[in-house]
């Protein structure tokens, strides 16, 4: 009787169009597993145990089960190989969110983080991104799981329901197996407080029940909070401001914790995001939110304040870097005091900020990146498929105003060279131009959902086809670009 290994290698000898990913080859009890690419498709190849084979969708060819990398088979994979399931990391592991809008970036992300002092949150998609790319949360999890299998990556990855606001989305994400939840409380933060007069502030504050006010005042007034090198005190005005700014948001955080986080069957890294506000988060506000949460028994794994200066998408930090360092240092001390990780959103390409982040957090933080991975895909296209790049570029620039509505960015469009004046060989240089980067950064949805008159997709299919063929180039590009992030973060 021939062995499972022999059956598989014979199959590959006679079917030369199946290209096996070397690192995916593994054994499980009496079955042999591998992942292969055939044409544009990725499939699992499995030989052995009848019971195992029967669990997978697919067909048997020359004694080998050829199983598509679909959702049903991902669930089987999760069951048999636990490393393909997302995991929670807790507050002592540095993590980096690497949103993969296309479902093609994870192999590169895994490779660049392998053997570094950081774990990847491979699946990380906001509802906005899912809608704009017409993907589901299941697609995102499937892509991450198959990537871990393809790369033989057994160190674990996370999955983040990113910037979720609504209960139904939170439920969906956690039921789907997400292991991190980033709760976006911006709808419950009362930004009007900024413009209140002193009378208005007092009036609204005194409208709260006396008992509640007294409890805040006992806990915050006439005392100093000593956080190593940072001392915080609250004046009555500051306390009133923070109470009115965050009272609804805090109630919502506690509610979500009680209704969804605590009852969940899997471990969850719970992140609180208060970054999507109009104003910078004052250190005293950060402290207030954290202190209130912890008083109410909420375990915070990471918290994202809004830092001073601008963290615009896809470009370096904008603003006074020294002021940023002073600001970040305080937020880092608060995070250390409460024993959670500071979380930095829109973290792509913030090269001048990275060494500062590592210095003040002692290298323990969560950093989110997303769009930069899409930009690297475009760089690959510019280099290897300039014809398609050119058409997409023109469309992106024509339709930029629609896309801009979703994101806060301020590119100087005038300064971007018209593509007619650029040599084809220089197309990749657009990805080094901060203004062009921003335009590309936000137009992914417009591009991927663009339709021809007959209803067919204008770029989507062609784009995916091209990028799947350029798999190795995309992988290299991500290793290089995210690697630069990791080097400066000293991870
Ligand atoms: Zn954010």
Q: Which of 111, 129, 151, 162 is catalytic?
A: 162
Residue 162 annotated among the catalytic residues of the structure = yes
Q: Per-residue pLDDT for 407 more than 80? A: no
DSSP 452-464: -TTSSBSSHHHHH
Contact 109, 100 (CB under 8 A): yes
Q: Per-residue pLDDT for 194 more than 70? A: yes
Give the Å distance between the CA of 311 and the centre of ligand 1. Answer: 10
pLDDT tens for 232-245 read 999 999 999 999 99
Q: What is the mean pLDDT of residues 97-120?
A: 96
Give the Å distance between the CA of 276 and the centre of ligand 1. Answer: 6
Give the Å distance between the CA of 128 and the centre of ligand 1. Answer: 12
pLDDT value at position 409? 77
Give the Å distance between the CA of 140 and the centre of ligand 1. Answer: 19
Q: What is the mean pLDDT of residues 114-131?
A: 92
Q: What is the mean pLDDT of residues 89-93?
A: 98
Q: What is the mean pLDDT of residues 380-407?
A: 92
Instruction: Classify the phi-psi angles of 339: left when phi > 0, otherwise alpha if psi is within -120 to 50, otherwise beta.
Output: left
Q: Per-residue pLDDT for 314 more than 90? A: no
Radius of gyration for the alpha carbons in the chain, expressed in angstroms and rounded:
25
Q: Per-residue pLDDT for 408 more than 80? A: no
DSSP 382-443: HHH-HHHHHHHHHHHHHTHHHHHTTS-----GGGSPPGGGS-GGGGGGGGG-HHHHHHHHH-
Give the Å distance between the CA of 345 and the centre of ligand 1. Answer: 5
Contact 274, 250 (CB under 8 A): no
Q: Per-residue pLDDT for 405 more than 90? A: no
Q: What is the mean pLDDT of residues 455-483?
A: 96
Q: Which of 271, 292, 327, 473 is catalytic?
A: 271
Q: Per-residue pLDDT for 353 more than 90? A: yes
Q: Per-residue pLDDT for 2 more than 80? A: no
Give the Å distance between the CA of 434 and the centre of ligand 1. Answer: 21
Q: What tokens were used for 140?
A: 């995102």
Instruction: For the chain, give the mean pLDDT.
Output: 95
Contact 205, 213 (CB under 8 A): yes
Of 393, 395, 383, 403, which Cα lies nearest the Cα of 467? 383
pLDDT tens for 159-186 read 999 999 999 999 999 999 999 999 999 9
Give the Å distance between the CA of 343 and the centre of ligand 1. Answer: 9
Give the Å distance between the CA of 469 and the centre of ligand 1. Answer: 33
Quote the pTM value: 0.95
Confidence grade of residue 127 (pLDDT, cut at 50, 70, 90) = confident
Q: What is the mean pLDDT of residues 391-406?
A: 90
Q: How far is CA 432 from CA 172, 367, 376, in A?
A: 38, 22, 11
Give the Å distance between the CA of 482 and the centre of ligand 1. Answer: 19
Contact 205, 235 (CB under 8 A): no
Q: What is the mean pLDDT of residues 323-350?
A: 97
Give the Å distance between the CA of 16 and the centre of ligand 1. Answer: 46
pLDDT value at position 313? 82
Give the Å distance between the CA of 367 and the centre of ligand 1. Answer: 10
Residue 271 annotated among the catalytic residues of the structure = yes
Q: What is the mean pLDDT of residues 401-420?
A: 85
pLDDT value at position 371? 85
pLDDT value at position 5? 86
Confidence grade of residue 105 (pLDDT, cut at 50, 70, 90) = very high
Angle of helix 471-488 relative to helix 354-361, nearest 10 degrees? Answer: 50
Q: Per-residue pLDDT for 231 more than 80? A: yes
Q: Per-residue pLDDT for 1 more than 70? A: no
Of 208, 29, 179, 42, which Cα lies nearest the Cα of 119? 179
Q: Per-residue pLDDT for 134 more than 90? A: no
């Amino acid at each position: 009787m021939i062995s499972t290994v022999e059956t598989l290698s014979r199959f590959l000898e006679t079917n030369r169009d199946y290209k096996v990913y070397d690192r995916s080859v593994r054994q499980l009890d009496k079955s042999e597993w591998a992942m292969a690419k055939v044409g544009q498709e990725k499939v699992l190849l499995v030989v052995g145990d009848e019971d195992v084979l029967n669990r997978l969708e697919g067909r048997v060819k020359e004694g080998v089960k050829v199983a598509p990398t679909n959702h049903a088979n991902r669930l089987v994979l999760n069951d048999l190989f636990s490393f393909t399931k997302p995991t929670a990391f807790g507050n002592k592991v540095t993590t980096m969110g690497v949103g993969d809008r296309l479902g093609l970036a994870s192999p590169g992300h895994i490779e660049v983080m392998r053997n570094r002092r950081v774990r990847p949150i491979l699946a990380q998609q906001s509802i906005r991104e899912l809608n704009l790319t017409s993907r589901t949360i299941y697609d995102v999890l499937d892509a991450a799981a198959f990537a871990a299998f393809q790369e033989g990556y057994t160190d674990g990855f996370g999955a983040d329901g990113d910037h979720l606001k609504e209960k139904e989305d939170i439920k969906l994400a956690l039921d789907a197996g997400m292991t991190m939840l980033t709760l976006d409380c911006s709808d419950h933060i009362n930004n009007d407080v900024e413009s209140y007069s002193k009378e208005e502030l007092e009036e609204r504050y005194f409208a709260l029940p006396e008992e509640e006010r007294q409890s805040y005042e006992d806990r915050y007034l006439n005392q100093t909070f000593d956080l190593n090198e940072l001392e915080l005190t609250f004046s009555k005005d500051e306390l009133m401001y923070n109470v009115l700014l965050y009272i609804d948001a805090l109630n919502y955080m506690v509610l979500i914790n009680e209704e969804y986080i605590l009852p969940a069957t899997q471990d969850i890294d719970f992140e609180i995001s208060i970054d999507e506000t109009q104003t910078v988060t004052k250190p005293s506000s950060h402290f207030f939110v954290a202190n209130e949460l912890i008083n109410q028994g909420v375990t915070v794994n990471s918290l994202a304040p809004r830092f001073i200066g601008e963290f615009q998408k896809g470009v370096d930090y904008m603003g006074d870097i020294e002021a940023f360092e002073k600001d970040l240092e305080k937020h880092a001390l608060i995070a250390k005091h409460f024993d959670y990780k500071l979380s930095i959103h829109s973290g792509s390409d913030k090269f001048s900020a990275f060494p500062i982040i590592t210095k003040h957090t002692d290298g323990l933080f969560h950093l989110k990146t997303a769009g930069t991975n899409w930009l690297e895909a475009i760089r690959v296209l510019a280099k290897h498929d300039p014809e398609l790049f050119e058409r997409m570029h023109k469309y992106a620039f024509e339709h930029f105003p629609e896309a801009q509505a979703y994101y806060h960015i301020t590119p100087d469009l005038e300064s971007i060279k018209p593509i007619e004046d650029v040599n084809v060989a220089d197309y990749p240089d657009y990805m080094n131009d901060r203004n062009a980067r921003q335009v590309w950064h936000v137009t992914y949805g417009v591009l991927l959902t663009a339709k021809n008159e007959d209803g067919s997709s204008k770029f989507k299919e062609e784009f995916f086809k091209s990028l799947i063929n350029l798999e190795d180039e995309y992988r290299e590009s991500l290793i290089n670009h995210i690697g630069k992030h990791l080097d400066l973060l000293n991870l």
